[in-house]
A and B are shown apart, each in its own frame.
Chain A
Amino acid sequence: MSAPPLLEVENLRIDLLGDDRRHAAVEGVSFRIGRGETFGLVGESGCGKSITALSIMGLLRHPLAIGGGAIRLEGQEIQSLPPGQIRRLRGSRIAMIFQEPMTALNPLSPVGRQIAEMFVLHQGAGWSEAGDRAVEALRQVRVPSPERRVKDYPHQLSGGMRQRVMIAIALACGPDLLVADEPTTALDVTVQAEIVDLMRELCAANGTAILMISHDLGLVANICRRVAVMYAGRVVEEQAADAIFRQPQHPYTQGLVASLPLLGGRAAHGRRRLAEIAGTVPAISAYPAGCRFNPRCDRATDVCRVEDPAATPLGDGGLVRCHHHG
């Protein structure tokens, strides 16, 4: 038997607890991430990708709670660990960066101190040593004149600089896994590429695996080896990144690929409307019976409206969840 993967999510279910009933916000989600691997989780807002990330961090708050399944870090189940133990994993072995670098940093604390906290928390460093190392951490994420910048407050930095600080915090203790929840969505397009490159480069150098969460299939496919597509709380397709572009199997994935603007497309094919997927994601309390995509799917038949499609394995370890895939 081979060594267990770095992260294994198996049949994960996340419940949204209501007053008298619970709704499964995420159901039957499984994927594995190997050491140093880059894995992408793609879907529209509300499909459950962010709460999947938070559940891995053990950061779900009421009314959300893990309702079943397992999250394993190198074979050890972490979703049932007592709070004190999962806390020690956070930051040191699994770290996270968030979408909004403006609000994700404490406005009343200098950024150097916010980085230094990591060394104090996880490596027992004193504040002055931690402060010196914070300067180094800022230098690593290529913030110019880090000796001066450590004393700055978040509002004195640009969005891109703040996200660099977030990366410095996340990678401070050399984690095994970096969970990046829409890390570039709030940034200017020109800064996005810099941040993605920086993340990828630093993680590659340290052997840190990345779980990249985004609504941007193009971005994810670019930097991730494997991609899972989520829709309405389920993984509807998982494949290698290049395969998902060449041969998307699920009608939803096909819709996503078709809706990507193609650089130079207008020159090659003339002026053309971008394809879109009609309709919107259903609310958690109103998931349709059968396949959850059926109301928006042009291939839907009677069976789609009644029977939830099972996962069909694909060649390279991937899967698709559709009655009419291909």
Chain B
Amino acid sequence: MPLLILRRLGNTVPTIVAVVLVIFTLFSVIPGSFTSAGDDGRVLDAQVAERMRKELGLDDPLHVRFGSYVANLVQGDLGTSFRTREPVTKVIAQRLWPSLKLTIAAMGFAILVGVPLGFIAALRPGSLIDMASMVVAISGLSLPKFWLGLMLMYLFALTLGWLPSFGYGDGGLRHLILPAVALGVSPMALLARTTRAGVLDVLNADFVRTARSKGMSEYRVVRWHVVRNALVLVLTTIGLQFGSLMGQAVVVEKLFSWPGLGSLLVDSVFQRDIPTVQGSILVIVLFFLAINTLVDIAYVIIDPRIRYG
């Protein structure tokens, strides 16, 4: 088991290398730079711009910049933000916890609602609850996040006045609910659908027929033989969704003025604050890899065939 985890972690190394390469080249070849980006209408004096470019090392050849980037990276230094002149690690550290909180809350919502919904739908196929839950699932997948977020704001904040409409507040639960739901609806819908399909699949399996032939009640058939098998199928979706959620949060964070990595990323892109952009993307990718590694480990715990395979 520890060996397997180690091997799994080793597998992520090439991915990380590839990601670093792509991030770096991508932001080196796109047009525009910190000194020219002016969506706020500022115009820099040519001399000032020239001095800043020198200071920030923007005029160095590509391989020199890549070399120093990697050299810093392996020491845990993500560079200095062009904008705030603070270390990127510090900027990101401030944003990481709100981001994690939002992602975990959204995924928690998706799992707690989506998985039971899919389960119930699969156990009563064709029933009213099945059709209702699939309508919810389709809508959840097709509604754009920003529209859904606006509607939630309008209903629960403006009309009903139950919850604050935006912002981080004191970091408490009340501010978390609306953005978490807005972010969690689409993974919830996807989970409901995959759970339903997975459970239906398992219910048709031969070993479920065996279980019935043993004289088990349907409840026990599901408890003893269906849940665990269906979980293996659902786990993949949970992992993929969870991992990509931090990246998906960009829109929702912007909409709710949530001080997470997503809104940091958007702001930094507009201002061509390349070190911050690169750092944020790297952290989001690392989060994705970490979640997927955890899911792989969970597989090994649930499914004995993998342990010995």
Contact = CB atoms under 8 A, between A and B. Distances in A.
A87 B216 contact: yes
B125 to A, nearest CB: 10
A285 to B, nearest CB: 23
Nearest to A118: B214
A104 B308 contact: no
A32 interface: no
Contact of A106 (B212, B229, B302, B308): B229
Given A98-B209, A107-B207, A108-B229, A91 B215 contact: yes
A216 interface: no
Contacts of B213: 57, 59, 90-91, 95-96, 98
A166 to B, nearest CB: 8
B217 A153 contact: no
B302 to A, nearest CB: 7
A91 B210 CA distance: 10
B211 interface: yes
Given A59-B209, A59-B212, A103-B206, A87 B304 contact: no
A81 to B, nearest CB: 13
Interface string B216-253: 11001000110011001000000000000000000000
Contact of B206 (A57, A100, A117): A100
A21 B209 CA distance: 27
A96 B228 CA distance: 24
A163 interface: no
A89 B215 contact: yes
B214 A104 contact: no
A98 B228 CA distance: 22
A266 interface: no
Contacts of A103: 205-207
Q: Max chain A CB contacts within 10 Å: which of B216, B229, B232? A: B216
Nearest to B304: A153
A166 B213 CA distance: 11
Q: Max chain A CB contacts within 10 Å: which of B205, B206, B217, B302? A: B206
A105 interface: yes
A98 B206 contact: yes
A224 to B, nearest CB: 21
A41 to B, nearest CB: 17
Contacts of A57: 213
Provide the main secondary structure of the chain B interface: helix
A108 B206 contact: no
B303 A91 contact: no
A156 B307 CA distance: 12
A91 B225 contact: no
A107 B207 CA distance: 8
A108 B214 contact: no
A90 B207 CA distance: 15
Contact of A156 (B214, B229, B302, B308): B308
Contacts of A135: none
Interface string B282-309: 0000000000000000000011110010
A240 to B, nearest CB: 29
Interface string B175-209: 00000000000000000000000000000011101
A121 interface: yes
A45 interface: no
A96 B209 CA distance: 10
A107 B305 contact: yes
Contacts of B205: 103
A106 B216 contact: no
Interface string A99-138: 0100111111100000001100110000000000000000
Contacts of A100: 206
Contacts of B216: 87, 91, 117, 121
Nearest to A88: B215
A139 interface: no
Given A108-B303, A108-B304, A90 B214 contact: yes
B215 A90 contact: yes
Interface of A: 57, 59, 84, 87-92, 95-96, 98, 100, 103-109, 117-118, 121-122, 153, 155-156, 166, 169
Across the A-B interface, give the 8 residue pairs with the lowest CB-CB distance, nearest first: A91-B215, A90-B215, A103-B206, A91-B214, A106-B207, A153-B304, A96-B213, A104-B210
Given A88-B215, A169-B210, 18 more contacts: A90-B213, A90-B215, A91-B214, A91-B216, A92-B215, A95-B214, A98-B210, A103-B205, A103-B206, A104-B209, A105-B210, A106-B207, A107-B305, A109-B228, A117-B224, A118-B214, A155-B305, A156-B308
28 contacts: A57-B213, A59-B212, A87-B216, A90-B213, A91-B214, A95-B214, A96-B213, A98-B210, A104-B206, A104-B209, A104-B210, A106-B207, A106-B210, A106-B211, A107-B305, A108-B229, A108-B304, A109-B228, A117-B214, A117-B216, A121-B214, A121-B216, A121-B220, A153-B304, A153-B305, A155-B308, A169-B210, A169-B214
